[in-house]
Amino acid sequence: MGLVRCVASAHELRLDARTLVGRREGCRIRIDATYVSREHARIGWNGIAWLVRDLGSRNGTFVNGRIIESGRDVPLDPGAELAFGDLDERWIIVDLGPPPPWASRVDGGAVLQATGDALLLPSAKDPEVHIRRDGARWSVFRDGVQRRVIDQEILTLAGGEWLLHLPEAMDVTAEMDGSGLYLARSVLDFRVSRDEEFVEIRLDDGDHKILIPPRSHHYLLLTLARARLHGDAPGGWLERERLCRMLGIDTNKLNVEVHRARNQLLELGVHGAIKVVERDRKTKRVRLGTELIRIQSL
C-alpha cells in the first residue's frame, strides 16, 4: 500500500488513491504552515503507479529537491523525497504498493483494512456487511442482498458510519453505463461549521451516499445552494458580478472554481457533473444545477 513518512515527526500516513496535500482542513496530508497552499498538491494512484501533481501552489512542490512543473503528473519511486512549499517540509515515500480497500469511521478512530479484496465491517469477527471486488467494481453483501458500492461512499451500520476507500481496478476505464450516482436525482447535503471555515458535502441518491472531499470551491456551491434554497434570487440565479462580490473573488477565480467543482464530481464518477453549476451566457448569471439541497450546521 502507499505509505509516506514525515521526516520531522516520523509520523507515517497511509495514502488514499487520491490524496490531497495542503493547509486546508480536510486535506489527507494537512500541513498547517503559511508557505503551504490551501490545496497544494495531489498524490494519486492511476491503477499502475503512484504520481504526484502540484496544483498551482504558490511555493511549489519538490521531488528529490527539484521543483516540479505545476499541473503535470510526476511518477514516484520508492524512497523518493517530497517537499511542499519549503525544502524543510519533507516526506519520504516508504511504500508504493497498490492501495488496498479499507474503511474508516466517519467520526474518527477506527480504521479497518481488507484482507486481500475482502473487507468486513464493522469487524472481521462480527461482520454486518462483506465488501469485495466484483470484476472491475465493488459490491457490498448484507443479509444475502448484493449491491454496488463506490469509493468515498458512506455506509451506515448499527455501530456508526463508515467511509469506504475503494481503489479502482488496474487498467479499468470508467464507463457511463447507467451505474453510479446521478446529480439530477441525488441530494446535495451540505454540512457547515459555525464559523463557515469548513464545508462538507455529501451526495445521496438513496442507494449510495458519498462524502465529497473538502475543497475551496465548496463555499461557492454553498453560496449557490443558499440562493436557490432560500429564494432570495429568482430561480436561484445570481448575476456573476454579485456572486463575485459575495465570495470576494474576481471573475477569473470564479471560472476556476466552477471548473474545479465540475471536475471533482467527474473524477468521482457522478453522472451529469457538468451541470452542478449552470450558466446563462446571455444574462451572465449562474446557479446551482439542482433543487435537491439540504444544509445543516456541524
Sketch out the chain's domains with CATH numbers. Answer: 2-96 (2.60.200.20), 102-165 (no CATH), 183-297 (no CATH)
Tens-digit pLDDT string for the chain (298 aa): 789 999 999 999 988 888 889 998 778 899 999 999 988 999 988 777 899 999 989 999 999 999 999 988 899 998 999 999 999 989 999 998 888 788 888 887 688 877 766 888 988 888 899 998 776 678 889 888 888 888 778 898 887 888 888 876 433 333 333 446 888 889 999 999 888 888 889 998 887 788 888 888 999 999 999 999 886 678 889 999 999 999 999 988 898 899 888 888 877 878 888 889 998 877 889 999 998 999 998 7
What pTM was computed for the model?
Answer: 0.53
pLDDT, tens only, 156-192: 888 788 888 887 643 333 333 344 688 888 999 999 9
Residues belonging to the chain: 298
pLDDT, tens only, 282-295: 788 999 999 899 99
Give the dihedral sign, CA 286/290/294/298.
negative
| Cα–Cα nearest to 82, from 56, 58, 50 | 50
**In which residue are the cell numbers 429568482 written?**
234
